[in-house]
A and B are shown apart, each in its own frame.
Chain A
Amino acid sequence: MSRLARFLFLLVLFTTLSTDSVRAAESDGDDNTIDILDKLSNHYYLDFKPFAKIELPRILWTDSGILFFSSTTSALNSNAGLIDLHYLENEVRYKENSLIEPVSYKLGHADGRPVKMDLSISSHLVWMWVAGFLTIFLFARLNKRYRAGIGRTSEPKGSFQNIFESLVIFIRDDIALANIGKDKYMKFTPYLLSVFFLILFMNLFGLAPWGVTPTADVSVTVVLALCTFFITQFNGTKDYWKHVLAMPGVPKFMLVIITPVEILGLFTKPFALCVRLFANMAAGKMLIYSIIGLIFLFADMFGTYVGLGSSVIWISFNLFIYALKLFAAFLQAYIFTMFSALFIGMAVEDHSHHGEAAHVIHESH
């Protein structure tokens, strides 16, 4: 009974909280819509609605060199000749002698040309830093225990150490060792560990209140995938390049087809890594917002009370999606790491024998 009561209480709490925050989002816009794409995209501010909205520093490469501003508002109100492109597009005039508020946060020159490059600190970047510092902090604490001898000379103690140690050992043995082989895996284990924990934390942040998932941004996943790409190519053995450029055991005239496909394959692998992670993370988030949006859709169509009543269904459905996303956060971090290890393993492998199996694996990706 008490369990049911607690569940209902949480449901009501969650319902009211999310209603509040989405209502706040609504009142922010000009029209009465929830912009899901805006929720997913990168911002130049950290949104702690309804408590605060922290503008992030802007670094802009403009005609007059690289300019630093502590916030978008200060950039707009400086005399650097910058303008929020929203004002230009909608032909809204600034009010004289008053603080100019940013709207779209997209800054350009006064005549409407965009800046050369916008190197501003953005929310995805900040949350990626949070993931990085969290990883450093956690493992610095963990290493303190190892330095003290716990886990080094004795068994690991406590759930904190056990959880992270088992994850580390899992990545080392079941991902790095299994895919790269015992001769070279220790060289790549630190990279795989870093990537796994960074991606895992970035994925999980989206599930926290006010959190943002940097991995739902293709710019972030493209860098991660490129990192794996460069590590793979720079560590490729002679054998690997021979397989890419001129597959041994294949008739000469077939190479005309196979070599371009193999070279294409070099790029499709990181492309798949990038898109898989980004699409999974973005889709989960979009789904959660869409289901919350159903409450307002129902309220619009059938009245407020139907909307409120049906919210119980949507919120419990959302809880299920939330659990699924929690699982996906771990799964996608694992998949990215596993495929990175697989690609690296294929590149560093010294197969002196040109067995059939090696070719099959090679071509299936």
Chain B
Amino acid sequence: MYTVLANSLINVDPGLIIWIAVTLVLFLLILSKFAWKPLLSALQEREARIRESLESAERAMKKAEEISRKNQDALKEAEIKAQQIRKDALEEAELLRTDRMEKTKLEADKIIEQAKNEIQQEKKKAMADLRKEVSDMALQAASIILDAELDQKRNKKLVDSFIDNLPEN
């Protein structure tokens, strides 16, 4: 007890304060130089590395995304182009088809016309032939029937006028 109780709790010992102050400053200097500086720099380096690699990964991802977007765009463009080409080809084919059809039709029409004309001509020719035959036959028959009573020339005139008065067909 005795002196020890006098050594109370809040007794400030100047000798101890001096010692603690000196050694604390020394420890602070030693620790900051040999403990914290290397440690903190190592941590900083690691963090910088992680940050960098994260950033570069992000950059790479962005790049990849851009590339994929470009690819998609190109694909879309190509598809559109292909469709256009197909459409063009179809149109051309259609055009070609209609053209050909028209031509064919025209040709057929021409052939039909020609045939018609030929038929008409043949018909005319046949008609003329028939007319001649008929007139001849009529003349013959009339001459046979009327004999000499009638003048051959007057009869012919009579028959011709008759025939002319016949309808064309």
Give every chain A residue within 8 A of B108 (Cβ-Cβ): none
- Flag if A120 contacts B10 (CB, 8 Å): no
Question: Interface centre among B5, B10, B30, B35, by most A CB within 10 Å?
Answer: B35
User: Which B residue's beta carbon lies closest to that of A216?
Assistant: B9
Overall SS of chain B's interface: helix
Per the bound structure, the CA–CA distance linking A124 and B18 in Å amounts to 13
Per the bound structure, the CA–CA distance linking A224 and B37 in Å amounts to 21
Give every chain B residue within 8 A of A11 (Cβ-Cβ): none
Per the bound structure, the CA–CA distance linking A193 and B39 in Å amounts to 11
**Nearest-Cβ distance from residue A105 to partner chain B, whole angstroms:** 9
User: Which B residue's beta carbon lies closest to that of A286?
Assistant: B9
- Flag if B19 contacts A118 (CB, 8 Å): no
User: Which B residue's beta carbon lies closest to that of A279?
Assistant: B9
By size class, the interface of chain B is 35 or more
Give every chain A residue within 8 A of B46 (Cβ-Cβ): 151-153
Looking at B21-29, B99-107, B114-122, B136-144, the stretch in contact with chain A turns out to be: B21-29
User: Which B residue's beta carbon lies closest to that of A143?
Assistant: B38
- Flag if B27 contacts A132 (CB, 8 Å): yes
- Flag if B23 contacts A218 (CB, 8 Å): no
Which A126-147 residues have a C-beta within 8 angstroms of B? 128-129, 132, 135-136, 139-140, 142-143, 146-147
**Nearest-Cβ distance from residue A6 to partner chain B, whole angstroms:** 38
Give every chain B residue within 8 A of A31 (Cβ-Cβ): 1
Decide if B148 is an interface residue (CB 8 Å cutoff).
no
- Flag if A136 contacts B3 (CB, 8 Å): no
Decide if A104 is an interface residue (CB 8 Å cutoff).
yes
- Contact among B16, B17, B27, B43 with A198 in the assembled complex (CB-CB below 8 Å): B27
Decide if B162 is an interface residue (CB 8 Å cutoff).
no
Given A37-B9, A153-B49, A227-B24, are A143 and B16 also a contact pair (CB < 8 Å)? no
- Flag if A125 contacts B43 (CB, 8 Å): no
Residues of chain A whose beta carbon lies under 8 Å from any beta carbon of chain B? 29, 31, 33, 35, 37-38, 40-42, 85-86, 89-90, 104, 106, 117-122, 124-125, 128-129, 132, 135-136, 139-140, 142-143, 146-147, 151-153, 165, 168-169, 172, 186, 189-191, 193-194, 197-198, 214, 217-220, 222-224, 226-227, 282
Residues of chain B whose beta carbon lies under 8 Å from any beta carbon of chain A? 1-5, 7-21, 23-25, 27-28, 30-32, 34-40, 42-43, 45-46, 49
A selection of 14 A-B contacts at a CB cut-off of 8 Å is A37-B4, A38-B4, A40-B9, A85-B3, A86-B2, A139-B31, A140-B34, A142-B35, A143-B34, A152-B42, A168-B39, A190-B28, A218-B10, A223-B20
- 7 closest A-B pairs by CB: A139-B35, A190-B32, A146-B42, A190-B36, A132-B27, A118-B15, A219-B16
